[in-house]
């Protein structure tokens, strides 16, 4: 089955995970979300992104709007803990976006990714002093310090397991008739 791994990454975290996923799938092609070949050629699409204010980043949202009637897996990296409500909300919102195109969501994967220090500096300067992201609480400091260690080798192993699982599911997924698509 021809597989596309499409990713969006500003600072390299998501790209690293995308590469591990692509390496785990026989013959997979890997491309940035805004430079993919024609999607009709692929039997499985795995899309990966960095989380931007609680959602897939804009380029990824535009990509998802072009995906119709496919088996799809998705993954993301984020500053928050992967088991947080915030991460769960991102997964739910993404699943809804993908499902709009009559796609079949086969599974998802997420892990933390270091947050660009320039972004933290900008937040500190531009947000009102009482905003939670303008301050460095002990909890936030601990979360950012943990994020700075990711994606690590263990994340990449889990990403590989997600890739294996998604590929296996796609091989056994019933083919969709033509004519699926966004309402």
Which residue has the CB atom at the shortest distance from ligand FMN? Answer: 113
In angstroms, give the least distance from the CB of 12 to ligand FMN.
5
For ligand FMN, the closer of residues 143 and 176 by Cβ is: 143
Nearest distance, CB of residue 99 and ligand FMN, angstroms:
21
Which three-class secondary structure string do you get for 111-173? EECCCCHHHHHHHHHHCCCCCHHHCCCHHHHHHHHHHCCCCCHHHHHHHHHHHHHHHHHHHHC
CA 44 to each of CA 107, 145, 171: distance values in angstroms, whole numbers, following the listed order: 12, 35, 9
CB of 117 to ligand FMN, least distance (A): 10
**Contact assessment for residue 94 and residue 56, using Cβ atoms and an 8 Å cutoff:** yes
Instruction: Name the residue nearer to ligand FMN (CB basis): 42 or 50.
Output: 50
Question: Closest CB to ligand FMN among 73 and 101?
Answer: 73
Helix 13-24 × helix 153-172 angle, to 10°: 50
Which residues of this chain interact with ligand FMN, rule CB under 6 A? 9-15, 50-54, 77-80, 86, 113-116, 119
Q: How far is the CB of 81 from ligand FMN (least distance, A)?
A: 8
Number of helical (H) and strand (E) elements in the chain, helices listed first = 6, 6
**By C-beta, is 163 or 170 nearer to ligand FMN?**
163
């Amino acid at each position: 089955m021809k597989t596309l791994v499409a990713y969006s990454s500003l600072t390299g975290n998501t790209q690293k995970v995308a590469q591990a996923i692509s390496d785990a799938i026989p013959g997979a092609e890997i491309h940035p979300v805004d430079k993919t070949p024609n999607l009709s050629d692929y039997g499985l699409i795995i899309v990966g992104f960095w989380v931007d204010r609680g959602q897939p980043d804009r380029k990824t949202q535009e990509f998802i709007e072009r995906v119709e009637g496919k088996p799809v897996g998705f993954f993301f990296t984020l500053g928050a803990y992967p088991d947080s409500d915030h991460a769960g909300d991102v997964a739910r919102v993404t699943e809804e976006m993908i499902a709009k195109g009559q796609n079949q969501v086969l599974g998802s994967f997420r892990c933390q990714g270091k947050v660009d220090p320039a972004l933290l500096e900008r937040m500190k300067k531009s947000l009102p002093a009482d905003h939670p992201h303008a301050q460095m609480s002990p909890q936030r400091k601990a979360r950012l310090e943990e994020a700075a260690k990711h994606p690590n080798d263990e994340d990449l192993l889990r990403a590989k397991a997600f890739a294996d699982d998604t590929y296996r599911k796609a091989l056994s997924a019933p083919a969709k008739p033509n004519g699926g698509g966004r309402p």
